[in-house]
Structure 1
């Protein structure tokens, strides 16, 4: 790892873990943030991401991204930017790898179904569910529930998009146990992890959309900044067939965005006179991110993607079916808890809101494939939503 800058998070200065741990030399010479990263990688919830929706619900093709491959790509981008800025690469990587763990099956469609089911009980939020999963539902250790992650790791997951004025019930529970200073800004590592997520899915969703035939190059070239970059690539590789050049466009876009973040973030650090991690938290603004010019282009790209990919009729039909399945399963488990596996059924609380939240925990952990199979077992074959 490169030398840490004075504003980077240092594991030697960590605010610690909820449960005190004695060092075990048999576990290898790793610092606290490296241990956090490794605990994420070895967790059951991380492994389940290989069968959770990224863009396409339960994709048939082997080449489409899923939550797991997306998280790995975010980690690569985040780690590279962290190294260039002199930040802690291990903490950045851990945050990138963990950021989507709370997503239920079928992506945002599944989240919408759980939000409706828990509306009168505080609702459902995938970001808070990530923290709930890692602090309560994962149980690999004999003396406590959760992975017992560092304060900096939990803070970064809770606040990667900025201060939290009104935490949801799930986040409030964790904050009550381990005050995460929700009113302040997150570490630079968390800010870089958040923007790495944007860079990854902005560009890789285009790649998957093209592969699926839901997007065309002509549509993309309606965006002036994409058209400009494409022409530069065509000029650079004038002797290469154009059908070989599209991956170069994706790489160029990622590089342009990442370089913009590096230049903009370093300028803000210098302008604000940031000298410590606490300076970052008290800066009163997000430091890590795009320039205003790149942010405007990125917003235009997102608008394009919602119109042409995320809200494509084939996508909305699959999303409606996914939402329907999750909603059906919520109702089934409320009426017949014995339909859940024995360990989940036996642990079901008797009173609300804990009862429905327990059912939501079970459902949120499902993969797309597992949810489909459970739905088929209970309801039989179902005609896909149109």
Structure 2
């Protein structure tokens, strides 16, 4: 596939926050390849293996975590980027890093930290991704953070499009290294965002069916899924049901990817340079209007049937309690965080509370549960709902 003139060019990157710090002797890699590798080698990325995707602290090892989800997003993103002639390395880096700011227990943990920081600016997982990569994850001797390229940081900051009212964490980082928050990001960033939607829409169906929280008959009330299912039955009438269901998920992904390719090619027709992407009045890479409407219906279904399933809600409440208990424990006795974090605890608010939130946000699900058991003797009920 030839390279599109709209692809981000690592040789023309807008640079890094801390210039002059790259060690070019460590292999012949482009700026975006270095970014991807820094992300993969980070502690924050490794911790994703034990962070909730849909199911909190699952007992089964077949369910997705934030790590496996991020890998699946990267696979879908690379396919789309390659077909469109975009920079695959930038796309992959964005896909791999997009969930690094999630605290333990997913959105339940995020809600708990947001409430704890009500008087200190709140908590936002997307802003926390930037905060982690730019300030907290610091393996280098010469600067804070991973010192990723501007294009990676911009794409992560604008994962959901232009940002008109940045969260305090993002505002602080933008002041230090401006990311043009009011404009659209690169096509690679837009591809990473839609790859995220494709991955979790369809892989959450897979996990929901496997766990018994979703029923096929309910899914087939969505006409576009029913169409896919009829095609699966036509092609593989004698296959076992579990294989047919996995074929259904694969078919859904392919259907969505092909729609993104067709719509993006049509949307970018007549766009001659990357500067036009930034000032567009809409995303140029993404679903067609018809697919967008279908995907909204699917999301509404998933919220009703899976994400807000009574068992999921009950587990989320217990997870919320774990974070509240940890918050209270560390506020009461910061030494429980260990010397490195306790010794660097700011004396004044809001920095003090934000420091504690940084510590909790970095935890895996299991580490958070272990600390609650250590401090209080037990966790609030069984948190495994599968």
Query: Is TM > 0.5 for Structure 1 vs Structure 2?
Result: yes
Cα gap change, 1:383/1:35 in structure 2, threshold over 3 Å: closer, same or farther?
A: closer
User: Which position in structure 1 is the counterpart of 2:160?
Assistant: 161
Are 2:322 and 2:379, in contact at CA under 8 Å, matched by a contact in 1? Answer: no
- Map 1:312-351; keep pairs closer than 5 Å: 312-351=309-348
SS at match of 1:359: helix
How big is each residue's C-alpha offset from its partner over 1:277-327, in whole Å with a ceiling of 9 and x where there is no partner?
Answer: 111101121111111111111111111101111011111111111111101
Q: Could you give the per-residue CA deviations for residues 176-195 of structure 1, whole angstroms, max 9, x where no partner exists? A: 01111111111100000000
Contact 1:105/1:365 (8 A) holds in 2: yes
Q: Distance in 2 between matches of 1:242 and 1:198?
A: 26
Q: Is 1:74 equivalent to 2:101 in the alignment? A: no
Matches within 5 A, 1:33-44: 33-44=32-43
Q: Does residue 1:106 correspond to 2:105, yes or no?
A: yes
Cα distance, 1:346–1:22 mapped onto 2, change above 3 Å: closer
Contact 2:21 2:142 in 1 (8 A): no
Q: Deviations over 1:215-272 (max 9, x none)?
A: 11111111111111101110111243444311110000000000000000110000xx
Asked if 1:184 is matched to 2:190, the reply is: no
CA deviation vs aligned residue, 1:169-213 (integer Å, no higher than 9, x gap): 100111001111111111100000000000000000000011111
Structure 1 residue 129 and structure 2 residue 133: aligned? no
Structure 1 pair 217/115, CA: closer, same or farther in 2 (3 Å)? same
Residue 156 of structure 1 contacts residue 186 of structure 1 at CA under 8 Å; is this kept in 2?
A: yes
Counterpart residue number, 2:299: 302
* Residues 1:97 and 2:73 aligned together: no
Is 1:199–2:198 an aligned residue pair? yes
- Per the TM alignment, residue 385 of structure 1 is displaced from its structure 2 partner at its CA by 7.9
- Does the 8 Å contact 2:184/2:278 carry over to 1? yes
> How far apart, CA to CA, are the structure 2 residues paired with 1:85 and 1:161?
20
In 2, are the aligned partners of 1:320 and 1:385 still within 8 Å (CA)? no
Structure 1: 5+ residue stretches without partners: none
Change (3 A) 1:56 1:284: same
Decide whether the 8 Å contact of 2:321 with 2:380 is kept in 1. no
Map of 2:224 onto structure 1 = 225
- RMSD across aligned C-alpha pairs, in angstroms? 1.2
Closer, same or farther in 2 for the Cα pair 1:22/1:309, shift >3 Å? closer
Equivalence for 1:27: 26
1:331-355 C-alpha deviation (Å, 9 max, x unpaired): 1111111111111111100000000
- Is contact 1:317-1:385 (8 Å) kept? no
Question: How far apart in 1 are the matches of 2:380 and 2:51?
Answer: 21
Does the 8 Å contact 1:234/1:242 carry over to 2? no
Question: More displaced, 310-319 or 43-52?
Answer: 310-319
The whole-number CA distance in structure 2 between the counterparts of 1:382 and 1:11 is 48
The SS at the match of 1:26 is coil
The separation in 2 between residues aligned to 1:196 and 1:202, in whole angstroms, is 10
Shift of 1:383: 4.0
